[in-house]
Amino acid sequence: MRPLVVLAMARNLNWDQLEGTALVVGQGGIGRAIGVVLEREAPKLKLLRAGRGGPLPLNICSEQSLNDLKTELQQHGPLRLVINTAGWLHSGGIGPEKRLQAVSRAGLEESFAVNAFGAILLAKAVDEAFGHGEQAWFASLSARVGSIGDNQLGGWYSYRAAKAAQNQLLRTLAIEWQRRRPAVAVTLLHPGTTATALSEPFRTAVAPEKLFSAERAAEQLVSLIAKQTPLESGRFLAWDGQNIPW
């Protein structure tokens, strides 16, 4: 009967009723905006903003940094919410590949380190902090281009593959946590094309009505997370709640 109780609670969740700690990882445009939304919508949650150069320094590519996070979480109240917004698409002249000959080991390694390995190693770091048994959420930003079934255009080898790998890793995590952390809902989220530094070089062809501000994207994502339940853990969703094919 316990899963049914958890489901009923989640269906009627109001963020302003939630107490404990929230962790937002990644301090880019969406990460910062999610922090603002949570401060407004969930005033009883203690908000930890983590990332490179963030109030709580965190490098999800560093084992030591993740171990430090694990220790830090022991100093706070029950962890109720983790939202991972950290991602890598381009830097230092390396970015989405339009053709095979542009694929490089450096690009593959960087993309997988942040977009795939970082997400599952973050989950490992917060695992014990979810041991309190109260309902909680672990959400991570994926991308529609990480869908293998929806890939009609090709290109973007590193980013597509790394996001697809994240999807598999967190889908597998959701199955394990249904046994070990049955009150936690794991969700993979596509935020839509958002006006941030990550997308800036690649959004010239995006129609204005399909380009979200960071604030709108954050509001949509936070609202969507609140609707997820442990019985639905492991879903890959677009910002509007629609399932995305794996």
Q: How far apart are CA 19 and CA 16, in angstroms?
A: 8
Q: Which two tokens stand for residue 198?
A: 């990550």
Q: Which two tokens stand for residue 108?
A: 């593959």
- Residue 67 has a pLDDT of 98
Look-up of token digits 């709580």: 56
- Residue 4 has a pLDDT of 43
Instruction: Quick: pLDDT tens for 155-175.
Output: 999 999 999 999 999 999 999
- Residue 214 has a pLDDT of 87
The beta-carbon contacts of 146-149 under 8 Å, at least 24 apart in sequence, are: 147/236, 147/244, 147/245, 147/246, 148/245, 148/246, 149/245, 149/246
pTM here is 0.91
- CB count in 10 Å sphere of residue 93: 7
- Residue 8 has a pLDDT of 43
User: E strands along the chain, which residues?
Assistant: 20-25, 45-51, 56-57, 79-84, 136-141, 184-190, 235-238
pLDDT below 70 — which residues of the chain?
A: 1-12, 196-210
Where do the domains of the chain lie? 2-238
Q: How far apart are CA 165 and CA 153, in angstroms?
A: 19
- Residue 92 has a pLDDT of 75
First-residue to last-residue Cα distance in the chain: 31
Supply the CATH classification number for the domain 2-238. 3.40.50.720
